[in-house]
Amino acid sequence: MSTKSIAIFAIVLWVASAAFLGFKFVSGETIQAEDGREAIVLASAERAFILDEMRNMLEAVQEIISAVNQDDMDTVRKIAHDAGMAEARKVPVELMLKLPLGFKQLGGATHTGFDEIALAADMGGELVMEKLEENLNNCVGCHAIFQLTEQD
The 10s digit of each residue's pLDDT in 54-82 is: 999 999 999 999 999 999 999 999 999 99
User: Can you give the pLDDT at residue 27?
Assistant: 46
Q: How far apart are CA 107 and CA 76, in angstroms?
A: 20
Q: Which pLDDT band, with edges at 50, 70 and 90, does 16 fall under?
A: low
Report the candidate in 117, 67, 114, 119 with the shortest Cα–Cα distance to residue 88. 114
Residue 16 lies in a domain: no
For residue 30, give the H/E element and its range: strand 30-32
Q: How far apart are CA 12 and CA 115, in angstroms?
A: 41
Total domains in the chain come to 1
Report the candidate in 126, 97, 107 with the shortest Cα–Cα distance to residue 30. 97
Helices 73-82 & 44-69 angle (0-180, nearest 10)? 170
Residue 8 lies in a domain: no
95 is in which domain, residue-wise? Answer: 29-150
Residue 98 lies in a domain: yes
Residue 131 lies in a domain: yes
User: Can you give the pLDDT at residue 40?
Assistant: 96
Residue 113 lies in a domain: yes
The answer to whether the pTM exceeds 0.85 is no
Q: Residue 83: which CATH number? A: 1.20.120
Q: What is the pLDDT of residues 100-131, one digit of tens each?
A: 999 999 999 999 999 999 999 999 999 999 99
Task: Quote the DSSP letter at residue 70.
Answer: T
For residue 147, give the H/E element and its range: strand 146-150
Q: How far, rounded to the nearest angstrom, does the alpha carbon of residue 87 sit from its chain's CA centroid? A: 10
Q: Which pLDDT band, with edges at 50, 70 and 90, does 26 fall under?
A: very low
Q: What is the pLDDT of residues 29-46, one digit of tens each?
A: 899 999 999 999 999 999
Q: Which pLDDT band, with edges at 50, 70 and 90, does 1 fall under?
A: confident
Residue 4 lies in a domain: no
